[in-house]
A and B are shown apart, each in its own frame.
Chain A
Amino acid sequence: MSAEKKTDFHVVNHSIPRRDGRVKVTGKAPYVADLKLIGMAYAKVLRSPYAHAKIVSIDTLRAASRPGVYCVITVTR
């Protein structure tokens, strides 16, 4: 196999700049967490403040009645 000159190839043996390079080093690359949609709702998980406890009941009434709250979802058994 003969040694090819560097110029014989368009891709092999060349350093090709990344297409996504510029947007990523300037902070312009959009990630999922950057998306803001019209009417977007936000979810928040409320965890037990106790490391080892049984959840006996959950009263969601006050949370659900706050302005701007779409719904409160809990596990039901």
Chain B
Amino acid sequence: MTDGMRIVALKFQLNGKPVEMECEAEETLAEVLRNHLNLNGTKVSCEVQVCGACTVLVDGLPVSSCTYLAYEARGKNVATIEGLEKPDGTLHPLQQAFIDDFAFQCGFCTPGMIMAAKALLDENPQPTRAEIIHHMDGNICRCTGYVPIVAAVQRAAGVMAKESKK
């Protein structure tokens, strides 16, 4: 305990599966996902909750995992980009829409964009263009491909609406 490091027990649901582990009290959720659980799909860029690249869902709400302590996730449901693809390889409508609309260039912001958009569509399945832009305000794309990103979210909303009618 010479350097103040404190190990805490951590239990939470990750993409629908239980996780039980130990981490340092000061570790962020992004660090736990990337360094302990080897889930590198969650990207870390600004590290100060500005860019949205590290967005994951905690109990359905988008959070910046770079500034969210892993310990805060105890007992909660965490969803990351790795959990969206079905076991049979079918992509989530948002993932497919991002491909179909060419809604990324380098792709570094894409997992965060998709998770933020998922939080929106789960809450509001038919958002207006203005609502999409407002909701995605916390996600920055340095390749500046915002127009196709909005189009992809609109396309996914349409696909999901058709799927839910089936």
Q: Which positions 10-42 of chain B face chain A at CB distance < 8 Å?
A: 34, 39-42
Q: Which residue of the partner chain, among A18, A22, A30, A33, contacts B44 with CB atoms under 8 Å?
A: A33
- How far is it, in angstroms, between the C-alpha of A29 and the C-alpha of B98 when the chains are bound? 15
Measured CA separation A26–B86 after assembly (Å): 11
Contact with B along A34-61 (1 / 0, CB 8 A): 1000000000000000000000000000
Given contacts A20-B107, A31-B108, contact A25 B98 (CB under 8 A): yes
Number of interface residues of B (CB under 8 A): 24
From B43, B85, B91, B102, A18 is in contact (CB under 8 Å) with: B102
B63 within 8 A of partner (CB)? no
Check B81–A34 contact: CB distance below 8 A. no
- Enumerate chain A residues within 8 angstroms of B102, measured Cβ to Cβ: 18
Task: Indicate if the CB atoms of B107 and A26 lie closer than 8 Å.
Answer: no
Scan B47-80; emit 1 where CB is below 8 A from any A CB, else 0: 0000000000000000000000000000000001
Confirm or deny: A77 has a beta carbon within 8 angstroms of a beta carbon on chain B: no
A30 to B42, CA, bound (A): 11
Bitwise, B80-103 to A at CB < 8 A (1) or not (0) is 111011000001000110110010
Residues of B within 8 A of A26 (CB): 41, 81-82, 84-85, 91, 95
A binding-site residues for B, Cβ under 8 Å: 17-18, 20-22, 24-31, 33-34
